[in-house]
Amino acid sequence: MNPQSRPTGRVSLVGAGPGDPELMTRKAWARLMQAELVLVDELVDRRILAELPAHTRVLQVGKRGGCASTEQGFIHGLMIRSARQGLRVVRLKGGDPFIFGRGGEEMDALQAAGIEVEVINGLSAGLAGPSSVGIAVTDRRCAPGVALVTGHNGEGGRAPDWAALARSGLTLVIYMGVSRCAEIVAALMAGGLGADTPAAVVCAAHTPQQRQAWSSLAALPSLLAAQGLGSPAVLVIGEVAGMAAARQLLTGARDGREDRAKDPAEQELRRRAQAPCGR
Ligand code: SAH
C-alpha cells in the first residue's frame, strides 16, 4: 500500500490480567499478535511479552519515579503519533485497563486527538487475587457488594472516604495499599470498623512469586512487616476473608497441613476461621 494512503491506526487499551498468561482474553491475545507497537506497563507479566512475535516493537513505559504527569503526557503523545502513522498500537496494562490503570485518561487523550480507540478488559488483580486464595468478594450471607479502592493518595487524586467505607458493610479490596497500610487501618477503625474484622493480603497473585497471609484488621500492618509482604499486593478486608480462611483450613486438613499446626501463620488462619461471617 502507498504509505500516503495508509489509514490512521488504532489504539487498543488492553488488560493483561494479573500475571498468568492464560488469564488474558482471546481478544487481547489477538490484538497483541497483530500489533506493530506495544507499550507496556511495569506490572505486565514477562511471560506474556515472551510470546510476542520477534518483529513486534515493544516499549516499556512503566512509571518509576520521575514526574508522573509528564510521563503520562509523553505516553499520550507517543500513542497519538504512532496511530497517525497508521500503526496498530496496543497499550498493554496489568489487570484491567480501566481499574486504576489510567485507561480513562488515555482514552480521553486519544479521542480528543481523533484517534480510534477500543478497550479490551483484563482480569483485575482485585478480583483475581482474592479468588486465588478462595475469597469470594461478594457473598449474600455477609457481603452485599465490594468496593475496589486505592490506598495511594498521590498526584492530586481524590482520597477514599475511609469512614464511609468502614460503615458500608462492603468487602474492601485495596490496591496500592501496602505502604500506607497502617494509616488505612487506623482510618477504618476510627470510622467504626472492628479491630477483629477478618483481613487478608495477596501479593503477586497468579505469578510464581505469589504469597498470601491472613490477619485481623488491627494486626494487618504488623503482619505485612513481620512477613516482609510487599507490592504488588491487594488487601482484602471483610467477613469474606474469615470465610475463606475457614475454607483454606478445611483444604489444609485434607492436604496434611495438620503437621504445621504450630506454625504462627497457620495459627492465625485457624483464629480467623473461628468466626466466619461474624458469627
Ligand atoms: N489495572 C490493575 C491495577 C493497577 S494499580 C488491575 O486492574 O489489576 C497497581 C496495583 O494493582 C498494585 O499496587 C497492586 O495493588 C495491584 N496488583 C497488580 N497486580 C497484582 C498482582 N498480581 N497481585 C496482587 N496485586 C496486584
Tell me the per-residue pLDDT of 201-257, one tens digit each, with 9 for 90 and over. Answer: 999 999 999 999 999 999 999 999 999 999 999 999 999 999 998 888 777 665 555
Whether the CB of 232 sits within 6 Å of ligand 1: yes
The grid coordinates of residue 83 equal: 496511530
Q: Which pLDDT band, with edges at 50, 70 and 90, does 276 fall under?
A: low
Which secondary structure element, helix H or strand E, spans residue 135, and what is its range?
none
CA of 106 to the centre of ligand 1 (A): 18
Domains, the chain: 8-120 (3.40.1010.10), 125-278 (3.30.950.10)
Mutation test of ligand 1: which of 43, 149, 174 has the most ligand atoms closer than 8 Å to its C-beta? Answer: 43
What is the structure's pLDDT at 257? 56
pLDDT, tens digit, 9 for 90 and up, residues 132-147: 999 999 999 999 999 9
The amino acid that residue 186 corresponds to is: A
What does residue 223 show for φ and ψ, rounded to 5 degrees? -65, -45
pLDDT score of 63 more than 80: no
Comparing 22-26, 157-161, 260-264, which segment has the lowest mean pLDDT? Answer: 260-264
> Sign of the C-alpha dihedral, residues 239, 195, 132, 42?
positive
189 catalytic, yes or no? Answer: no
Q: Which atom of ligand 1 is nearest to the CA of 93?
A: 1
Contact 19, 45 (CB under 8 A): yes
3-state secondary structure of 270: helix
What does residue 259 show for φ and ψ, rounded to 5 degrees? -60, -25
| Residue with CA nearest ligand 1 atom 5 | 100
pLDDT, tens digit, 9 for 90 and up, residues 91-132: 999 999 999 999 999 999 999 999 999 999 999 999 999 999
Whether the CB of 176 sits within 6 Å of ligand 1: yes
Task: For the chain, give the mean pLDDT.
Answer: 90
Residue in 24, 79, 107, 176 annotated catalytic: 176
DSSP assignment of 43-104 = TS-HHHHTTS-TTSEEEE----SS-HHHHHHHHHHHHHHHHHTT-EEEEEESB-TTSSSSHH
Contact 185, 217 (CB under 8 A): yes
Q: Which pLDDT band, with edges at 50, 70 and 90, does 274 fall under?
A: low
Mutation test of ligand 1: which of 25, 119, 153, 175 has the most ligand atoms closer than 8 Å to its C-beta? Answer: 175
What is the model's pTM? 0.90
Core vs surface per residue 153-188: b (16+ CB within 10 A) or e: eeeeeeebebeebbebebbbbbbbbbebbeebbebb
> CA-to-CA distance for 220 and 229, rounded, in angstroms?
11
